[in-house]
């Protein structure tokens, strides 16, 4: 970091060396990133408030008279300066068209994108700026804090509220581990994916693996309590969801899985993993009857949870609402944010459902009858 600073200051020997103003001019001139879309940027309210590095006209004209080799040299210097500026957190949002290919994901979001920022510090500082990822970061950052607190509270609950405290805490622990890992991988991915192509690829794989972990973790307490009195099907279903979840994680390691072309594939893989819950649901409903499934089995809550996930995945895959109003949901209410909110809400509804199952089990004092799954 200090070497960057050194090289940036050393180039202040130009025709008009007036410190900060000079640095700002050079950043403002950084080729197609800002210049071509300069007018649009000025009219865009979100970018207008994000312009900490204004340029002066006089200095811009000065640069135009330079000869070609000098301009090339100058361009290199400007690039270096640009990296330094990013490092310092001095950047402005840019339109979709000028993003490098590896940052192009959703062409219905026209403005307000972060430029590539090859510094983790700048990426993390961008959490507090307004751009296309602000909503995505905060929805899962707050969700992460919520589930971390809920998880700690559940783990600290006195053992007297459980029939088999150790086993039940492990079972709930799996759910919270899945939720906390999913949400933290997600907000981290959305924070740092503009760092570089390599970082983006690595964190997107973590992000997708996190979704599979959340789904697998959600199955554990649900199957544990729903099939409390029939350990054999419980073990079979748990094994199947583990195999399917690990398969989804393996598929997510495929480099092309994260590309815009495979948006539907991604939605399909995770939808399929979640919908594998239909088989144990049918089993439970047929064996116990519809009334018992909806009352003691908490199926209403699990159905609501499933609907939230399916709606989220559908909006995500179809990119609704921005598809119908390109450029209108660049900052808030884009499909990805709605999907994030629905994931947190669905995980919370699931937690409520399994908590009810746990209470029911505690109320029965652990007894099983011959013909009961629950």
116 vs 210 by CB, closer to Zn ion: 210
Closest approach of Zn ion to the CB of residue 271, in Å: 15
299 vs 341 by CB, closer to Zn ion: 341
Closest approach of Zn ion to the CB of residue 190, in Å: 6
186 vs 281 by CB, closer to Zn ion: 186
Closest approach of Zn ion to the CB of residue 186, in Å: 5
Beta bridge partners of 148: none
Binding pattern for the stretch 231-250 against Zn ion, x by CB under 5 A and - elsewhere: --------------------
186 vs 334 by CB, closer to Zn ion: 186
Contact between 335 and 315 (Cβ < 8 Å): yes
Residue closest to Zn ion, measured at CB: 186
Closest approach of Zn ion to the CB of residue 130, in Å: 18
Using CA atoms, how far residue 286 sits from 90, 292, 315, 354, 370, in Å, is 61, 10, 32, 20, 16
Closest approach of Zn ion to the CB of residue 112, in Å: 17
DSSP string, 298-360: -HHHHHHHHHHHHHHHHHHHHTTTTTTSTTSSSSSS-HHHHHHHHHHHHHHHHHHHHHHHHHH
186 vs 335 by CB, closer to Zn ion: 186
Nearest to 199 by CA among 209, 190, 212, 211: 190
Only one residue has tokens 């450029």, namely 327
Interface positions, 16-75, toward Zn ion (CB under 5 A): none
Interface positions, 156-215, toward Zn ion (CB under 5 A): 186
What DSSP state is assigned to residue 116? P
List residues binding Zn ion (CB under 5 A).
Answer: 186
């Amino acid at each position: 970091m200090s070497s960057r600073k050194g090289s940036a200051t050393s180039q202040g020997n130009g025709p008009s060396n007036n410190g900060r103003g000079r640095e700002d001019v050079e950043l403002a001139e950084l080729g197609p990133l800002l210049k071509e879309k300069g007018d649009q940027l000025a009219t865009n309210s979100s970018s207008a408030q994000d312009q900490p590095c204004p340029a002066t006209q006089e200095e811009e004209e000065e640069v135009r008279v330079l000869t070609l080799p000098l301009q090339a040299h100058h361009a290199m210097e400007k690039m270096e300066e640009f990296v330094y500026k990013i490092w310092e957190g001095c950047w402005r949002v840019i339109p979709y068209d000028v993003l490098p290919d590896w940052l192009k994901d959703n062409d219905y979001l026209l403005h307000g994108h972060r430029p590539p920022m090859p510094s983790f510090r700048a990426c993390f500082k961008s959490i507090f700026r307004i751009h296309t990822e602000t909503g995505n970061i905060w929805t899962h950052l707050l969700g992460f804090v919520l589930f971390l607190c809920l998880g700690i509270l559940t783990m600290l609950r006195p053992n007297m509220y459980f029939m088999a405290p150790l086993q039940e805490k492990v079972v709930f622990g799996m759910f919270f581990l899945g939720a906390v890992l999913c949400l933290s991988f997600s907000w981290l991915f959305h924070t740092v994916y503009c760092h570089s192509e390599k970082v983006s690829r690595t964190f997107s794989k973590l992000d997708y693996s996190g979704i599979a972990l959340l789904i697998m973790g959600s199955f554990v307490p649900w199957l544990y309590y729903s099939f409390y009195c029939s350990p054999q099907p419980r073990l079979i279903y748990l094994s199947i969801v583990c195999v399917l979840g690990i398969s989804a994680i393996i598929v997510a390691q495929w480099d092309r899985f994260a590309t815009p072309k495979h948006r539907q594939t991604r939605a399909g893989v995770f939808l399929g993993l979640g919908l594998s819950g239909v088989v144990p649901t049918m089993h439970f409903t047929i064996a116990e009857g519809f009334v018992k499934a909806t009352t003691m089995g908490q199926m209403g809550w699990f159905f609501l949870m499933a609907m939230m996930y399916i709606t989220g995945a559908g909006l995500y895959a179809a990119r609704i609402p921005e598809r119908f109003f390109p450029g209108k949901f660049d900052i808030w209410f884009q499909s990805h944010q709605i999907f994030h909110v629905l994931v947190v809400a669905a995980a919370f509804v699931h937690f409520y459902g399994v908590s009810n199952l746990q209470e029911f089990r505690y109320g029965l004092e652990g007894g099983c009858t011959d013909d009961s799954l629950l």
